Amino acid sequence: MNSQNQLFKPDGKNSIHDGIEHSPSGGKALIDPTDAVLLLLDHQTGLFQNVKDIAVADLRRNTTALAKLAALIDLPLIITASIPEGPNGPLMPEIQQVAPHAVYVPRKGEVNAWDNALFVKTVRETGKKTLIIAGVWTNVCVMFPALDAKAEGYNVYVVIDASGDPSEIASRTTLARFTQAGVIPTSTNAVTCELHRTWNRPDAAQLAELYCMASPSYQAVMESFNKAQEVKDAKQTNNGPKTTRSTTPALAAQSR
């Protein structure tokens, strides 16, 4: 069984079940992993060419990190593209490479994915009421279905740094409209943390790798930490047995 399924239960409490006593109020304001579905919309190569509010390399890396997170924790993932045979281009291949469980929903020319009956049916059939959405462009391909889903009663989060717009002003006005409508803006790192919740899990090292994707500098943190531990352990070699340490900083810190 996936560790995520063992840690969280679909009881509406969003509590961590790892055998440790936690605060009963912890997690109530966060995304519930048992009630969430990830929607990656229109991450197409043609649209990427007009993204100006974020570096395309960062956008693609963050989107890939979200897809890898979905695969790691068995989070439902639905993807779609707007006319992939046209100038908008095909979907970035990384998504299906790292998340083969992703469900692709073709559209029939609709700009707004929520106008496509099959797409909405696929979302509803997951039984989840929390939508985590990212896409290109943010002010169209993400905003339209996000607003419609919110109006239909879904809890909607938009991952801003896994989305892209043609300009900074487009991004800022879109963000304002999201907040006015009750759509919650978030980031790749924040989503990962909310669904992660604890280092006391067997897939902690794999989650640490996702943080390195969302924040490449975190890799340097891990490398410097691990090197410091190696030096310390080398100095203690003649004073007793060597301690086995985790490659994940947070877990290693817990072991001290």
Helix (H) or strand (E) holding 58: helix 56-73
**Rounded distance, CA 187 to CA 134, Å?**
10
Distances from the Cα of 17 to the Cα of 5, 26, 52, 190, angstroms: 10, 12, 42, 21
What is residue 80's DSSP assignment?
A: E
What is residue 44's DSSP assignment?
A: B
What stretches of 78-216 show up as alpha helix (H) in DSSP? 94-98, 117-125, 143-151, 168-181, 188-196, 204-214
Given 54, 141, 156, 191, the catalytic residue = 141
For the question of residue 141 being annotated catalytic, the response is: yes
**Rounded distance, CA 98 to CA 94, Å?**
6
Place of tokens 């109530």: 28
Annotated catalytic sites, by residue? 141
